[in-house]
Structure 1
Amino acid sequence: MNKLDAQTTPESPPGASVVVTGKDAGRVAFAAFVGTALEWYDYFLFGTAAAIVFNRLYFTTLDPAAATMAAFATFGVGFVARPVGALIFGWLGDRIGRRPALLITVVMIGVATGLIGLLPSFGTIGVAAPLLLVLLRLLQGIAVGGEWGGAVTLAVEHAPPGKRGRYAALPQVGSPVGTLLSSGAFALVLLLPDEQFDSWGWRLPFLLAFPLLVIAVYIRRKVEESPLFDELLKQDERAKIPALEVFRTAWGRLLVAMASAMLGVGGFYVLTTFVISYGTTTLGMSRGLMVNATLIAAVVEIAVILVMGRLAERVGPGRLTLWGGLISAVCAFPVFWLIDTRNPAAIVLAVAAGIAVLSVAYAVSGALLTELFPAHLRYSGVALAYNLAGALTGFLPFLATALLKTSGGASWPVALLLVGISLITALGGFLGERLRVKDNVVGA
């Protein structure tokens, strides 16, 4: 038994083997993808708006640097709330079912995001504006805390043995698609004159969450419950308090899972949210250029995720996480050197390349994390690991901005920060490959 997790068995609880087929796996994975795409669209909107809108309209009493840091702190609040969502929806997903938990999360974040689009600015309602903004960000965080873990769990548990990598990768595609939708929406409204953009234009992408929510709920309602969870119900093998069981018996796996997820969460926001702010405020580049760079990077990320999902089935998700972490560490300084040239083409190349290399580890996070926890603890374990990693790294744009200020505008401390996160993820991948759980399932 591994010293990291002395009390956790290498297999899911005993019982009859569960037969899973590929018949509905694609439909379930697509439904998971649609939901995660909406969730990340809503979540990423806040990051982009924090970099170019909220600092000016909701923190107007502060100087520009302090306002940007305040906006990023508000952005980070969502990550602090995510472990709370993991506890709530992890319990619901492991006790009541994966499907009802995912229906609630998608409704919750859609409503919270739409309400941000209706929120008056500081100039209209004063200090209540940033306070309400923080509240809505908290609701976003709680919803996302339960969304991703449930989506990949449902996709993996419907997938035939030997094909989990590709199905676990589909919910991951929701991240770049969410980036495309959110950055694309902002790129369009940034074409408006500055006065109209500040007055009402920036609100349109948030208000779009309402019709997208209707589509996501319609698709998710047609998804069937996980066959593995149905078997847990029959065998009555559900944990009474899943999160407590994770901390008590699977704490080693939890730490490894958190480490393996850090780059895909924190590194991503350094190369998007922070870089957008850095490019516009420090380097003097246009907002449109920086947002468009993230659009191109998102297209590249989709291709990387789909390829790595298939490759994970052959070499293992832990090994790919190790490789992705090491490559990202090597590329961190060159990425920022290119950005610092202020050359538009070099900036686009840097952001796209940086996102591509960190996406190697992110692509297989779903496959690795779901196989680090047995079925009766899976929703809670995956959600807690991913969102605790998010809570630890969600303030990286804030920290990067602080480092930038103390270094007199030099980017090397931020690159060094990215190197550190990359190496932690590489270690998580190395250990995670050795701790993977085997479910009692057979293909049909």
Structure 2
Amino acid sequence: MSAAIEGDTTTPPREATGDRNKEIRRVAAATFIGTTLEWYDFYLYAACAALVFGPLFFPGADPLAGQLGALATFAVGFVARPLGGAVAGHFGDRWGRKRMLVITLMVMGLSTVAVGVLPTYDSAGALAPILLVVLRILQGLAMGGEWGGAVSMAVEHAPPHRRAFYASAPMMGSPAGLILANVVLLGLVAATGESFTTWGWRLGFLSSIVLVALGFYIRRQVSESPLFDNHVAAEPERIPLVQIIRRHPGALIKTLVVAGVPGISTYMVLTYTLTYGTTVVDYSRQSLLVVGIAVCAVQLVLLPLAARIGDRSGTHRLVLVGTVLQGLAALLFFPLFDTGNFPLAVLASIVAVIPTVLSYAALPTVLSDQFPAKVRYTGISMAYQLGAIVGGGIAPIIATAIFAATGVSFLIGMYMAAANVIALAFAFLLRGRSARSTGTPVQHAVPVPDTA
């Protein structure tokens, strides 16, 4: 299929092959580095919510209540993400993708640095958790606006036959950010010892100011999406979110489920087990951080490979296979993890997360194809961020509640598997459905001979 669908005269003119390929790679690098920095900030908070925020900001006689309070602040960030996606999507579809990506990076970085200087409950009383929630909301708003813009830039710059491959660059930012966050935390635990839980954790947040400066410089260097400059900017939708709700409600519902469910496995392994593994199974904090690094290293390596497969065999098929495997792996996770054997815990975590790679490699193009370019930033942002609430945001809380009520970890695996059954049904409904079938053409970037 050509980059411009028949009848679409808005495709920007062809540029020199060498210049276009260079720009495509620059955009891929910028979206990868920028999302890595954003996810570093986001995961750093997630890990500290599981490890230290409970007693510092929610002290009390009941440790479970304090832990649930800390995890609730983690979930608040997910609730804020759709609002961030709507706001950034609105202006990104009207003003340009690049401008909003610079703004979201600054908001995320500065709010993260502010967490590093927050007073605790002992020194500020109820004001401490309130400020923590406010900063978490700002993080959620920034992250909500980040993903849709980065994916839009990558997809709209990419040649048609390499869309999944280049769009995997912003997806790789998530495991890369977690690896960076966990490496920093491991270093701080080793350097500060017992003081990590009192003040050592703050250094990870304060160091984010360096990453903000780096990310700002990198994102200022990339060019705007050629599709936006040559088509969308000329006649932007007045209120993109209204158009999504009016013209594409079915696509929004289906994509948010398909996009959200892989997050259940990811956050169960990378967030919930930091608490469950240390308090119930008696793994050390450091060993579980190492597990997180190993899992994300596997994701980082496999994502571009899976994306290449998607470009050849179809990204929709990749989503279907990934969803089936996620459900099966969920049933195996806790029986292996609960053995207390560290190598088996690593194996269980990798097996649980590998299937999500298939889904994540396909999601950027699958979601992008459901919405036309004029509302793409808004559409894919809302789908991904609303899905994040259904997936990662509430999954650790549901898991905590299930285990507190039953004491049976296998039931958590059953919940994970059931969610994937639902996602599979919605994934089948996406077969052959895209913005093209609704009568609105999907515009792609300029076709370029690929030399990569």
- TM-score norm. by structure 1 comes to 0.94
Match of residue 439 from structure 1: 443
Q: Deviations over 1:366-409 (max 9, x none)?
A: 1211121110010000000000111223111011101110012x
Indicate the SS of the match to 1:190: helix
Question: How many Å separate the matches in 1 of 2:130 and 2:10?
Answer: 52
Match of residue 76 from structure 1: 75
| Alignment CA distance shift 1:85-1:286 (3 Å) | same
Post-superposition shift, 1:233? 4.4
| Alignment CA distance shift 1:222-1:312 (3 Å) | same
Aligned residue identity for 1:17: T
Match of residue 191 from structure 1: 190
Preserved CA contact (<8 Å) 2:241 2:378: yes
Question: How many Å separate the matches in 2 of 1:254 and 1:199?
Answer: 43
Is 1:426 the counterpart of 2:429? The answer is no
Aligned residues: 433
Preserved CA contact (<8 Å) 2:320 2:428: yes
Match of residue 4 from structure 1: none
Question: How many Å separate the matches in 1 of 2:82 and 2:61?
Answer: 30
Indicate the SS of the match to 1:201: coil
| Alignment CA distance shift 1:267-1:11 (3 Å) | farther
Question: How many Å separate the matches in 2 of 1:206 and 1:226?
Answer: 32
Structure 1 residue ranges without an equivalent (≥5): 1-9
The structure 2 residue matched to 1:15, chosen from 9, 19, 24, is: 9
Q: Deviations over 1:116-149 (max 9, x none)?
A: 1111111111111111000000000000010001
Indicate the SS of the match to 1:24: helix
Match of residue 251 from structure 2: 253
Is 1:345 the counterpart of 2:343? The answer is yes
Post-superposition shift, 1:278? 0.8
Aligned residue identity for 1:303: V
| Alignment CA distance shift 1:55-1:105 (3 Å) | same
Match of residue 389 from structure 1: 387
Preserved CA contact (<8 Å) 2:43 2:181: yes
- TM-score norm. by structure 2 comes to 0.92
| Alignment CA distance shift 1:194-1:56 (3 Å) | farther
Preserved CA contact (<8 Å) 1:339 1:350: yes
Question: How many Å separate the matches in 1 of 2:209 and 2:6?
Answer: 39
Match of residue 104 from structure 1: 103
Post-superposition shift, 1:56? 1.7
Q: Deviations over 1:292-348 (max 9, x none)?
A: 101100100112211111111011111101100000101111111110101011111
Match of residue 280 from structure 2: 282
Indicate the SS of the match to 1:118: coil
Structure 2 residue ranges without an equivalent (≥5): 15-19, 436-441
Question: How many Å separate the matches in 2 of 1:295 and 1:99?
Answer: 30
Question: How many Å separate the matches in 2 of 1:192 and 1:441?
Answer: 48
Q: Deviations over 1:83-141 (max 9, x none)?
A: 11011101010011101010000000000111111111111111111110000000000
Question: How many Å separate the matches in 1 of 2:128 and 2:428?
Answer: 45
Aligned residue identity for 1:98: R
Is 1:200 the counterpart of 2:199? The answer is yes
Post-superposition shift, 1:77? 0.2
Question: How many Å separate the matches in 1 of 2:115 and 2:153?
Answer: 29
Indicate the SS of the match to 1:120: coil
Post-superposition shift, 1:67? 1.0
Is 1:270 the counterpart of 2:268? The answer is yes
Question: How many Å separate the matches in 2 of 1:434 and 1:247?
Answer: 21
Q: Which runs of 4+ in 1 moved over 6 A?
A: 10-13
Aligned residue identity for 1:402: A
Query: Percent of counterpart pairs with the same letter?
Result: 37
Question: How many Å separate the matches in 2 of 1:292 and 1:80?
Answer: 29
Indicate the SS of the match to 1:163: helix
Question: How many Å separate the matches in 2 of 1:95 and 1:73?
Answer: 34
